[in-house]
Amino acid sequence: MEINLISDTVTKPSQEMLKAMFSAKVGDDVFKQDPTVNAFEKMVADLFGMEAALFFPTGTMANQTAIKLNTNPGDQIICDKWSHIHLYESGGASANSGVNFNLLDGKRGMITAEQVKAGINDPEFYHTPLSKMVGIENTTNKGGGACYEIEELKKIKQVCLDHNLRYHLDGARLWNAMVAKKQHPKQFGALFDTISVCFSKGLGCPIGSVLLSDAETMHRALRIRKIFGGNMRQSGYLAAAGIYALQNNINRLEDDHRRAKELGKQLEQCLWVAKVEPVETNIIVFSVQPQIEDKQVMEQFKQKGIAISLLGKGALRIVTHLDYRQVMHDYVMETLQKMKF
């Protein structure tokens, strides 16, 4: 039995999801003639209470499109130093949009309204970049699945309004945050200018993200998606997976969160573990004792048929997901109890 806990992106479509995909009615989405894509985009937009949505092949492309929509070359984005748009999108913000970052030292990937306000450049001081956009990541990837409180997001929104800043949410794992915090999509739709949400992580689709905003902004997004090479033809087969996921795979995220918390508690009992970050959703980040090498830990997990990931600088990561079944969970829990170094 091989157990892949590297990420929640490793999931494969269930038989039920595949059935929905194979039976989808499709057309040419480049001409906006794919009925399933159109229905999917409307479903997501309505869910968040926003005017329009656009289907993308990847979350990175959706984020990069949002950056291009919200900024001009030379502008600056304010975000946490661990943000995905800064660390894990291959420098796309500078390559695609000609912008740079003001990286804030947040807590577990989360920043505060006070930090954002302090990070805004004086728009009259033309020697510094023009602060133009605030980027939020929820949940935080490198921060171990941490979730923002909605009240803090509201405070940041007010700072954005006061200083004419655009407000973008990288919601790759927003579904996890909403389930964990018992929040509603419309709460986020009311706050952000643009939101990207991913379907190939916690919701188990094989591909796809959606970008949301007002109708005029999303009309402009059509051109940017084309520039980035993101137009697809009969993509209704993929959108059908997203519709199935929305209807069936959100509430079950609680199972992923429960198992992640149980793994976190078990790791805290292991003498070879130095620290376990607080577990809120489906990501567990932990570090080992200084006399133990990371590769030793990775190798022993591998020998037991368990794959995890290395974040670097002594941090390791485990991610639970819908293909991680209870029988696997029991095995991993038992393995952790027996592991020694």
Domain end (from 205, 227, 248): 248
Tokens of 253: 């995220």
Number of domains the chain contains: 2
Whether residues 166 and 286 share a domain: the answer is: no
What is the rounded end-to-end Cα distance, in angstroms, of the chain? 23
Whether 292 and 223 map to the same domain: the answer is no
70 and 151 fall within a common domain: yes
Residue 223, CB-side half-sphere exposure with 13 Å CA sphere: 6
User: Strand, coil or helix: what is 3?
Assistant: strand
Structure tokens at 331: 């095995």
Residue 180 lies in a domain: yes
For residues 20 and 143, give the distance between their C-alpha atoms in angstroms, rounded to a whole number. Answer: 34
Residue numbers in the chain where pLDDT is lower than 70? none
Q: Which two tokens stand for residue 199?
A: 């379907």
Looking at residue 122, what is its pLDDT? 97
pLDDT reported for residue 215: 98
Q: Say if 94 falls within a structural domain.
A: yes
Burial of 178 (0-12, 13-18, 19+ CB in 10 A): buried
Based on the domain organization, do 282 and 230 belong to the same domain?
no
Give burial (CB, 10 Å; 0-12/13-18/19+) of 146: buried
- The answer to whether the CB of 71 falls within 8 A of the CB of 45 is no
**pLDDT tens per residue across span 282-312:** 999 999 999 998 888 999 999 999 999 998 7
Helices vs. strands in the chain: H and E counts, helices first = 14, 13
Output the six-digit token pair for 311.
């974040």
Full residue range of the structural domain in which residue 317 is found:
252-338
Position 189 in a domain: yes
- Tell whether 277 and 201 lie within a shared domain: no
Tell me the three state secondary structure of residue 92. helix
Among candidate residues 191, 215, 248, the one where a domain is terminated: 248
Residues 328 and 187 in one domain: no
Whether 188 and 233 map to the same domain: the answer is yes
What is the phi/psi pair of residue 78, to 5°? Answer: -100, 125
Examine the domain organization and report whether 177 and 302 are in the same domain.
no
Residue 71: is the preceding peptide bond cis (ω within 30°)? Answer: no
The predicted structure's pLDDT at residue 341: 86
Answer whether residue 3 is part of any domain.
Answer: no
Q: What percent of the chain is predicted at pLDDT more than 70?
A: 100
β-strand pairing of 306-307 with 100-104 = unpaired
Assigned domain for 300 exists: yes
- Residue 27 CB: number of other CB atoms within 10 A? 17
How many Å apart are CA 302 and CA 295, to the nearest integer? 10
Residue 266's CB is within 10 A of a number of other CB atoms, namely 18
17/52 same-domain check: yes
Residue 186 lies in a domain: yes
| pLDDT digit string, tens, across residues 35-57 | 999 999 999 999 999 999 999 99
Q: Where is the domain boundary, 228, 248, 268?
A: 248
Is residue 240 located within the same domain as residue 278?
Answer: no
Give the pLDDT confidence score for residue 314 in this predicted structure: 77
> Is there a single domain that holds both residue 73 and residue 197?
yes
Is 6 domain-assigned? no
- State the CATH number of the domain containing residue 259: 3.90.1150.10
CATH code for the domain of 60: 3.40.640.10
Q: How far is CA 165 from CA 131, 132, 133, 156, 267, in A?
A: 7, 5, 5, 10, 42
The two three-digit tokens of residue 324, written as one number? 């991680």
For residues 256 and 321, what is the distance between their CA atoms, to the nearest angstrom? 6
- pLDDT at 1 (0 to 100): 72
Same domain (yes/no): 234, 267: no
Is the separation of the CB atoms in 266 and 295 below 8 Å? no
Q: Considering the domain boundaries, does residue 1 fall inside one?
A: no
| Whether pTM exceeds 0.95 | yes
